[in-house]
Amino acid sequence: LVLLLGLPLALAEPPTCTPLVPVTFDNATITGILGEWVYIASASKYLPHLEEIKSVKYEVFSFSPSSHEDELNVTEISRLNETCVVRNTTKIQIFWHNSTLVNGQMTSKARLIQSDKDLLVLKHIDADAPSLSLSARTHNVSKEHMEWFKAHLRCLGFTEEEMFLTS
């Protein structure tokens, strides 16, 4: 009986994991990410990120130009559990040579992944722990975009229980 119940799982096709292609930065790329974004979902195996993403219920953030060409200003409005938090002192460093974004404290690094222009998909490259986040220009993403994102999370080894969506 156990063999019969497990047969459909054994015959199921493994997910096709297309590689996540990072964007090569140029001025148009950086200009394209300026403005407001709504944080939608993420997953992380990196413990400092995991604790934070578990508590985020809602977040809107915006990128704006800084007085330095290799830096962006970030303003964040978040609801962490039941507390509203506003941060407008965050800086993001732009490393043009390897197309990487790094927060001002140098504790978080990410690569922008090629996707729809109204989606901001970041592959975080901290330690050896996979992390992926999804933000969008609007509060909702299409079912197809969400399925694409979840498929990539599964390819990175995440289960549904390890995927955190905002409300």
Q: Among 3.40.50.300, 3.90.260.10, 2.40.128.20, 3.40.50.720, name the CATH number for the domain at 27-165.
A: 2.40.128.20
Q: Name every residue whose Cβ is closer than 8 Å to that of residue 163 and which is 6 or more positions away in sequence.
A: 41, 42, 43, 150, 153
φ and ψ of 163, to 5 deg = -95, 125
Which tokens in the block code for residue 155?
């390819």
For residue 78, the number of C-alpha atoms closer than 13 Å in the C-beta half-sphere is: 18
- pLDDT digit string (tens) for 62-73? 999 999 989 999
Instruction: Find residue 100's DSSP bridge partners.
Output: 95
Predicted TM-score (pTM) of this structure:
0.85
- What whole-number percentage of the chain has pLDDT above 70? 89
Q: Where are the domains of the chain?
A: 27-165
DSSP state of 106: S
- pLDDT digit string (tens) for 150-164? 999 999 999 988 999
Residue (of 90, 87, 86) closest to 71 by Cα position = 90
